[in-house]
Amino acid sequence: MTIALRYAARSDVGLVRSNNQDSGYAGSHLLAVADGMGGHAGGDVASSVAIGRLMRLDSETPASDMVAALEQTVLDANQEILRRARDEPQLAGLGTTITALLRTEGKFALAHIGDSRAYLLRDGETTQVTKDHTFVQRLLDEGRLTEEEAERHPQRSVLMRVLGDVDADPELDLSLRPAHVGDRWMLCSDGLSGLVSLETIGRTMQEIEDPDECADALVQMALKGGGPDNITCIIADVLDLDRLPRGVEPPSTAPQIVGSAARTRHQPTAASGPAAKAAALTRGEAEAPYADEDFSEEEPPRRSPWPALVTLALLLAVVAGALWSAYAWSQKQFFVGTDGTHVVIYQGLAQDLGPIPLSSPVEVTDIELEQLPPIMRDQVQRTISTPDRDAAEEVVMRLQNAAELAAPTTPPPGTEEPTETDSTTGTPDGGASPSEPAEEAPGGVEPLPERPERTATPPDEGESS
């Protein structure tokens, strides 16, 4: 049996964002989705760096080394992201999710961190293979929320684990899985999974046979749902090349790169200009011959300057009108930021035009910046753009809820002190030990080779006293 993948990758900026911070890669041995975060440029950089590192694995890797190779590559990407943040202060706080499948022979290695997802369609049943590393998922695991409450929770996008500047020692979910012929995998960012239900995803994956058409359909569903975030989707079918029907071509092995990683990888190059001319001369290529120095033309008659002046005046009037229209439009925008101490709603744009401010505060809230969880505090400091005032008010309500959840609580006098946390295990005394066997994930997880246990300091946000 000769295993191969037939795949398709798609990425869309969505209907609200101005740039695409997602990156995706689909190749004959590797499938990966990265959802970047950390400002206008930081998210682009983080997801592109992660995919740039991972795509080096798109080749045959010994099955005995595939999990370790995938883990080490993701950790190397994390180190590169940290270095970029250290060397370029404007990128501080950047990070990215990662969900990646590495195929070797008849097995898949899966690495996951963040809230991008992997789904598996097998024998007509679709399951979510990965678990989100979010604040709301933690509340679900602890039984403090129901599935219905989680879908509407204002902090459902707050990440607890991620690659990048917010965590120097990320903890990955790693597993080894069989590659069953007939399986269909779908990897996506939360711009898709946050808007399209598991039931709809499963039905679409089952009904649309062609991977390209299936990926297109899922992206369109997210756009019809409002498209507030970037949307990235990868569909991959597991095939047996030895059993392909006669006349059916084997799948292409050409990699597909989408999102910000595609822009980074394919920068335009100059095809003309002085440098190109010099290179052409160096190669001995002749340009158009120069005119004979003895050849002269009759001096053209002088033209009146008025047509040029009128054209210039009209051009200046058009530019001035465009600038005024742009300024008037900017004053209809809103964003949530800070005055250094409190969360503030601003009208206008977060940038200034030279000495001209393009925004002004319209409401200084009672929410203090220090009350917010670190990730949300960083988002506010970098500003959160909204399409209107109502949307800005909704963001403020979410921040207020986060501040209240993050606020420490003091037990009444005479009550029992909170259970102390065991510093060696990171769990309350008497709690479950992390060494207990985990429940097998969908898709037939095979046990991993024993590795040194990785630990990470639990985040402060969302912990109950």
pLDDT > 70? residue 447: no
The 10s digit of each residue's pLDDT in 177-202 is 999 999 999 999 999 999 999 999 99
Please name which of 196, 239, 240 lies closest in space to residue 220, comparing C-alpha atoms.
196
Q: How many whole angstroms separate alpha carbon 1 and alpha carbon 285? A: 53
Per residue in 363-374, pLDDT tens? 999 999 888 888
Nearest CA to 40 among 396, 359, 383, 393?
383
Q: Of 187, 189, 221, 191, nearest to 204 (Cα)?
A: 221
**Token couple for 247:** 């006349």
| Higher pLDDT among residues 147 and 100, named by residue | 100
Nearest to 115 by CA among 93, 101, 97: 97
Between 301 and 319, the more confident residue is: 319
What would the two tokens of residue 415 be?
A: 């009550």
| Of 99-103, 143-147, 323-327, 445-449, minimum mean pLDDT range | 445-449
Q: Per-residue pLDDT averaged across 223-241, rounded?
A: 96
Mean pLDDT, range 280-304, rounded to an integer:
37
pLDDT of residue 40: 58
| pLDDT above 80: residue 282 | no
Domain ranges of the chain: 3-265, 334-406
Mean pLDDT on 206-223: 98
CA distance 358 to 346: 10
pLDDT of residue 421 exceeding 60: no
22 backbone dihedrals φ, ψ, rounded to 5° = -80, 155
pLDDT, greater one: 375 or 156: 375
The lowest-confidence range among 204-218, 258-272, 280-294, 415-429 is 280-294
- The pair of three-digit structure tokens given for residue 346, joined into one six-digit string: 């601003």
How much of the chain, in percent, has pLDDT values that exceed 70?
Answer: 76
Residue 167 — pLDDT band, cuts 50, 70, 90? low
Q: Which helix (H) or strand (E) holds 234?
A: strand 231-240
Distance CA 69, CA 107 (A): 14
Tokens for 245, please give them: 């029907």
| Strand ranges inside 75-204, DSSP E | 95-96, 98-104, 107-113, 117-122, 125-128, 163-164, 173-178, 184-188
Of these ranges, 114-118, 347-351, 426-430, the one predicted with the greatest mean pLDDT is: 114-118
User: Would you state the pLDDT for residue 440?
Assistant: 45
Angle of the 374-381 helix axis to the 389-406 helix axis, nearest 10: 150
Kindly indicate the confidence band of residue 157, based on its pLDDT and cuts at 50, 70 and 90: confident
What mean pLDDT do residues 408-423 have? 53
Coil, helix or strand at residue 61: coil
In this predicted structure, what is the pLDDT of residue 304? 55
The CA R_g of the chain, rounded to the nearest whole Å, is 27
Please list, in sequence order, all residues whose beta carbon lies within 8 angstroms of the beta carbon of residue 364, skipping any fewer than 6 positions away. Answer: 339, 342, 344
Which of the pair, 269 or 418, is modelled with greater confidence? 418
pTM, to two decimals? 0.58
pLDDT category of residue 439 using cuts at 50, 70 and 90: very low
Query: Terminus-to-terminus CA distance in the chain, angstroms?
Result: 55
Residue 84 to residue 80: CA distance in whole angstroms: 6
Phi (first) and psi of residue 2, to 5 degrees:
-110, 105
Q: Is the pLDDT of residue 414 over 60?
A: no
pLDDT score for 416: 53
CATH architecture of 3-265: 4-Layer Sandwich (3.60)
